[in-house]
Structure 1
Amino acid sequence: MERAALTSAVVVADAAALADEAGFEAVTLSAVARRLGVQAPSLYSHVRDREALLDGVTALALGDLSQRIAAAIAGRAGRAALEGYTGAYREFARDAPGRWQSLQRRSGDIVVRSDAARQVVTLTRAVLRGYPVPEDQHVHAIRVLGATINGYLAIERIGGFDHSTPSPEVSWRKTVQVLDALLNNWPGDPQ
């Protein structure tokens, strides 16, 4: 079987597949090169270094996540949009665990300024427009949502909720309920 020509997109896509299969920490230039059947130096014309490769996976993950969020919140507002939004994150973490892990790191400026990152923020703001959260408070609400969702998913991923009842599913629904209540009763600025 003839291998596809190497491009930056091919290298990053393979790194993302490796992340989902073996964990994000397994993504190295040499591991990706082995998977692609080339020598590691061959990758340097497509990615600058490991950090650039990891940023590529993160940007790809943000694009994938934004598509899922867009589909999950389309035509919804308020609690229904929040449920779609949080559900999209949770499904993404389950379906693409390595790509989800890539979102749990400090990204380079190229990722932060990417269209995919802007799209996730835009979609998050769309969810927030269904709540009485003042626009000048959106940055705080986005941080609360991200911390809560990703914190829950990180603990769930390592099995931290498996040793007690109720099930993690019940606690997830409660978490979304609490987020809905918080967004509906957003506090004013602290003094």
Structure 2
Amino acid sequence: MPRAGLSRGAVVRVALDLVDGGGPTGFADLTLAKVAAQAGVATPSLYKHVGSLAALRREVSTVAVDELNAAMTEATVGLSGPEAVEALAHAMRGFARSRPGRWAAAQAAPDPDDPADAALSAAADRSVRTVAAVLRGFDLPEARTVDAIRSVRAGVHGFVTLELAGGFRLPQDLDASFATHVAMMLAGLERVAQDS
């Protein structure tokens, strides 16, 4: 990419390409030096467009969270109850498998007290609202909604993180195991709804 074409958006696109190319560790391995080398410029040239590596990571995370949210929303439109949760879980896993670097970037939690995290906070809030809408079909008490959101997120994240790292070496079918995992999450959600 020629120097004349460098802009904030172009720097973020280069960073996203590097994150995608790096697989599950692409986000963790992202550096300004790598972005500069890929863009064909010296590292100091990036500072006109992004103030720091932390700022660039926030930009990448915001894009990743928005894309994940779009995938979850598209998968769950018109569905409710167990069907919606199944679709949500499969959309999350599909995103993680197709974009493991962006999946990792989407897990970065914004600091709600840091104004620099405002865009990432807004993206994260949209994502949380999507999951909360999916869970409405279980009639969970409002006080348990955050618990349920965290449980679903942790459950899917744990499974796909192990999957991406090659942590499932037994010969049994992973898709069948994931379906069982989702069924167990659904049973847990139904139990919480009944006990509340």
TM-score (norm 1): 0.90
CA distance change for structure 1 residues 72 and 107 in 2, over 3 Å: closer, same or farther?
A: same
Match of 1:176 in 2: 182
Separation in 1, partners of 2:108, 2:42: 27
Separation in 1, partners of 2:90, 2:14: 26
Match of 2:57 in 1: 54
TM-fit CA distance, 1:90: 0.7
Partners of 2:65 and 2:106 within 8 A in 1:
yes
Q: After superposition, give the CA deviation of every residue in 1:57-88 in whole Å (9 maximum; x if it has no partner).
A: 11110010011011000000011111111111
Secondary structure at the aligned position of 2:20 is classed as helix
TM-fit CA distance, 1:52: 1.2
Separation in 2, partners of 1:113, 1:156: 26
Structure 1 residue runs of 5 or longer lacking an equivalent are: none
Q: After superposition, give the CA deviation of every residue in 1:142-176 in whole Å (9 maximum; x if it has no partner).
A: 11111111111110011111x21422111100011
Separation in 2, partners of 1:133, 1:43: 47
Separation in 1, partners of 2:118, 2:14: 18
Match of 1:11 in 2: 11
User: What one-letter code is carried by the residue in structure 2 that aligns with 1:69?
Assistant: M
User: What one-letter code is carried by the residue in structure 2 that aligns with 1:7?
Assistant: S
CA distance change for structure 1 residues 46 and 135 in 2, over 3 Å: closer, same or farther?
A: same
TM-fit CA distance, 1:112: 7.4
Structure 2 residue runs of 5 or longer lacking an equivalent are: none
CA distance change for structure 1 residues 46 and 3 in 2, over 3 Å: closer, same or farther?
A: closer
Secondary structure at the aligned position of 2:51 is classed as coil
Match of 2:80 in 1: 77
Separation in 2, partners of 1:56, 1:35: 18
Partners of 1:111 and 1:117 within 8 A in 2:
no
Correspondent of 2:91 among 64, 88, 93: 88
TM-fit CA distance, 1:97: 1.0
Partners of 1:132 and 1:185 within 8 A in 2:
no
Separation in 2, partners of 1:165, 1:34: 41
Correspondent of 1:132 among 132, 135, 139: 139
Partners of 2:19 and 2:102 within 8 A in 1:
yes
1:103-114 alignment runs, 5 A limit: 103-108=106-111, 109=114, 110=117, 114=121
Separation in 1, partners of 2:3, 2:182: 45
Q: Does residue 1:155 correspond to 2:158, yes or no?
A: no
TM-score (norm 2): 0.88
Separation in 2, partners of 1:185, 1:106: 28
Match of 1:43 in 2: 46
TM-fit CA distance, 1:24: 1.6
Secondary structure at the aligned position of 1:160 is classed as coil
Q: Does residue 1:21 correspond to 2:25, yes or no?
A: no
User: What one-letter code is carried by the residue in structure 2 that aligns with 1:15?
Assistant: A
TM-fit CA distance, 1:13: 2.0
Secondary structure at the aligned position of 1:126 is classed as helix
Identical counterparts, % of pairs: 37
TM-fit CA distance, 1:8: 2.0
